[in-house]
Structure 1
Amino acid sequence: MVGYDPKKKLTELDYMFAGSASGVITRLLCQPLDVLKIRFQLQVEPVVRNVAISSKYRSIFQATNLIIQEEGIKALWKGHVPGQLLSISYGLAQFTTFEVLTKKSANLGITQKWDVIVHFMCGSISGCTATFVSFPFDVVRTRLVAQSESNKIYKSVPDAFHQIVKQEGPLVLYRGMLPTFMQVGPHAGAQFMFYKIFDKIYKNTVKTDETTFTSSTVAGSLAGFFAKIVVYPLDLIKKRLQIQGFKRGEMFGENFICNGMFNCMSQIYKREGYRGYFKGLNASLVKAVATSALYFSSYEMVCEAIQIYRTT
């Protein structure tokens, strides 16, 4: 179902609905993993399990327990509302753009010979388009996740938008866009490319041409895993840039201050070493596998449900 298929009888509106629905389902179930990933990414202190070193978060389980103890279990869904707005707008824009582009490629006769490359290029373009549409929600989500329950800077999503625009200017809602595009282009392209590759491998292994929940889940999870490893450092840099000008509070440790993307990269290396670029990778990989599997499988199933409904 993902990508152009002449057997599909779906409209662009159907793709928009399916993309939005997959974003909602994925965000609802995987938001706690996103909160953990962001907390690790924003921690300047080293991520170690040695209690003698004063790092707040040291492992996935320790961080989860600490957040629940200090802020309550609801904190694991902190930033969920802007996260849902991000997921809806991103899923809608990404899958619709991808389906339109792969259809155009098929009509030009490119897809049959270069299907893997086509999926990479169309995925890259659709990912960048979706990122531009949804980026302000990502900035607000990061700020809400970064703040503590005891020292709230922003009371709600509208309040966060209002304060950011009023105090820092509207362009701040697009701060971190350069590393994001550098990350999202190859990441989205690799995700769709790997999905196509692993989907083919799975179907050849079980000898079927049918797309099932199992096939899309397996292909999606593997695609998410490999695509995330490729571009992870740029995701961390984006998060560090998004909190510039925002004081998180002493309970989270040292505030990270930088000036632009390249200065951010330099500061991380000088103060945290090369491992600093991979903080939160474990949580991010767990999240990438889970979200990618849900993202693709839910999209496939919604598309299939719409098609069955249309033919009955």
Structure 2
Amino acid sequence: MGRHETNNTRNYQGSRLQVVTAGAAAGLISRFMIAPLDVVKIRLQLQSHSPSDALPHKKQGPPTASSPVYKGTLRTLRLIVANEGITGLWKGNVPAEMMYVSYAALQFTTYRSTTVFLHQTIGEGKLPHAAESFLSGAAAGATATAATYPLDLLRTRFAAQGNDRVYTSLRRAVADIGRDEGFRGFFRGLVPGLAQIVPFMGVFFAVYETARLPLGTLKALPWGSGDATAGVFASIVAKTCVFPLDLVRKRIQVQGPTRGRYVHKDIPEYAGTVRSIRRIVAAEGVRGLYRGLTVSLLKAAPASAVTMWTYERALNFLVKHGEEESGDAA
């Protein structure tokens, strides 16, 4: 078997339990490290105002007296710590950890299963490698997003609340949303979420798989290995392509009876993906669709690098350990 084939099969080798375990470990470690940047990103995405929005030619008015104005990653970090304490940087971390672990496990499991399915139905090597990676990545992203979406919504709402807490606990949040908004309330923004994640995962895996092989032959890479560097590059490209849909998803997630109670008291009403995009462009300009992009890229790069690096090595360790146990048993 040639080198290309060996690397091409690495992503779906191992048992289902090994893939799930490696994916869960990757998601858990990655989420913990980037939690503060995630809170900053959400705060910036939900901010429909900025100092420049107060200019006369802007349709969106200036912020209300009770709404903070965030500008820049470091300044936002400092402002959150000053107003809410260091724990403010980890708001929403419990549902986020649950989401990331579940998401990563489902993502890698579905990616592996879809790849195996394509090989069994179409034949290994019949599809171009990039097309195979795109299909597997898109299926993995859609499945994981839909299955973990309520946790994503809870993460956003907890990260969006300031000192005046909207929800006192995760259990209370689930009960309140279920009572006031019904089952559909847990899936606000799912449409832009799916519209975002399918091309994101497709582009990510396609770029990652394409870049990983040539990068693996290089030395002295900035992220330590070809896997990690390919993950960083793929994440930046994919995240930039779909960022407006991510922003729309966040703003729709905080709609409902609690919309005026978050740290931003003046969040406009949004309904529907296309209508929301039009309203944001009309009120804030095209730049409004990219609020928080800088910190999102800063977050995505180390998160993806850590995720892919941890997943590859955890899976290899589990497979090797399983082979050693099988050998000892024999």
Q: Do they fold alike, i.e. is TM over 0.5?
A: yes
The equivalent of 2:156 in structure 1 is 142
Q: How far apart in 2 are the matches of 1:143 and 1:287?
A: 19
Shift of 1:83: 0.1
The answer (yes or no) to whether the contact 1:191–1:223 under 8 Å persists in 2 is yes
- Does the aligned pair in 2 maintain the 1:47–1:279 contact within 8 Å? no
Q: After TM superposition, list the pairs within 5 Å mapping 1:166-185 onto structure 2.
A: 166-185=179-198
Distance apart, 1:233 and its partner CA: 0.2
Specify whether residues 181 and 7 from structure 1 end up closer, same or farther in structure 2 by C-alpha distance, changes over 3 A only. Answer: closer
1:148, 1:248 within 8 Å by CA — same for their partners in 2?
no
**Partner in structure 2 of residue 39 of structure 1:** 43
Q: Structure 1 residues 97 and 2, CA, compared in 2 at 3 Å: closer, same or farther?
A: farther
- Whole-angstrom CA distance in 1 between matches of 2:310 and 2:224: 8
- 1:231 maps to 2:242: yes
SS across alignment from 1:264: helix
Contact preservation (8 Å) 1:41, 1:236: yes
Q: Which residue number in structure 2 is paired with residue 25 of structure 1?
A: 29
> SS of 1:64's equivalent?
helix
Q: State the Cα distance separating 1:213 from its structure 2 match.
A: 6.4
* Counterpart AA for 1:297: W
Distance 1:3 1:140 in 2: 38
Cα 1:230–1:41 change in 2 (3 A) is same
Q: CA deviation at 1:175?
A: 1.1
The match for 1:14 is 18
Q: Which runs of 5+ in 1 are unaligned?
A: 207-211
Question: In structure 1, what is the equivalent of residue 103 of structure 2?
Answer: 90
The alignment's TM-score, normalised by the length of structure 2, stands at: 0.86
Corresponding position of 2:276: 264
Counterpart of 1:166, as a letter, is R
Verify the 8 A CA contact 2:259 2:265 in the aligned structure 1.
no
Superimposed CA distance per residue, residues 196-233 of structure 1 (whole angstroms, 9 cap, x where no aligned partner)? 11102202445xxxxx9612111111111111011000
Q: Write the mapping of 1:274-293 to structure 2, written as runs, cut at 5 A.
A: 274-293=286-305
CA–CA distance in structure 1, aligned partners of residues 226 and 10 of structure 2:
20
* Partners of 2:262 and 2:149 in 1: CA distance: 28
- Aligned amino acid, residue 96 of structure 2: G
Verify the 8 A CA contact 1:3 1:103 in the aligned structure 2. no
**Alpha-carbon contact 2:107-2:144 (below 8 Å) kept:** yes
Q: 1:308 Cα deviation (Å)?
A: 2.0
Matched, 1:219 2:233: no
Q: CA RMSD in A?
A: 2.4
Please point out which of 298, 306, 309 is paired with 2:310.
298
When the two structures are aligned, how many residues end up with a matched partner?
A: 304
> Residue in 1 aligned with 2:199?
186
CA 1:143–1:6 in structure 2 vs 1: closer, same or farther (change >3 Å)?
Answer: closer
* Kept after mapping to 2: 8 A contact 1:56/1:253: no
1:129-168 equivalent positions in 2, closer than 5 A:
129-149=143-163, 151-168=164-181
Aligned CA distance change for structure 1 residues 153 and 7 (closer, same or farther; 3 Å) = closer
TM-aligned CA deviation for residue 259 of structure 1: 2.4
Deviations 1:222-254 (A, max 9, x none): 111111011000000000100112235485352
The equivalent of 1:5 in structure 2 is 9
- The structure-2 alpha-carbon separation of the partners of 1:106 and 1:251, relative to structure 1 and needing over 3 Å to count, comes to closer
1:112 to 1:48, Cα distance in 2 relative to 1, 3 A: farther
Greater Rg, structure 1 or structure 2?
2
SS of equivalent residue, structure 2 residue 216: helix
Q: What amino acid is aligned across from residue 306 of structure 1 in structure 2?
A: L
User: Are the aligned partners of 2:50 and 2:69 in contact in 1 as well (CA < 8 Å)?
Assistant: no
Mean CA deviation greater in 65-74 or 213-222 = 213-222
Identity within the alignment, %: 31
**TM-score calculated relative to the size of structure 1:** 0.91
CA distance in 2, matches of 1:148, 1:35: 11
Q: After TM superposition, where is structure 1 displaced by more than 6 Å over at least 4 residues in a row?
A: none
Higher mean C-alpha displacement, 228-237 vs 239-248? 239-248
> CA contact under 8 A between 2:161 and 2:263: conserved in structure 1?
no
The separation in 1 between residues aligned to 2:129 and 2:243, in whole angstroms, is: 26
Inter-partner Cα distance in structure 2 for 1:293 and 1:133: 24
| Structure 2: stretches of 5+ with no match in the other structure | 55-61, 325-330
Letter in 2 for 1:75: G
Q: Does 1:200 align with 2:213?
A: yes
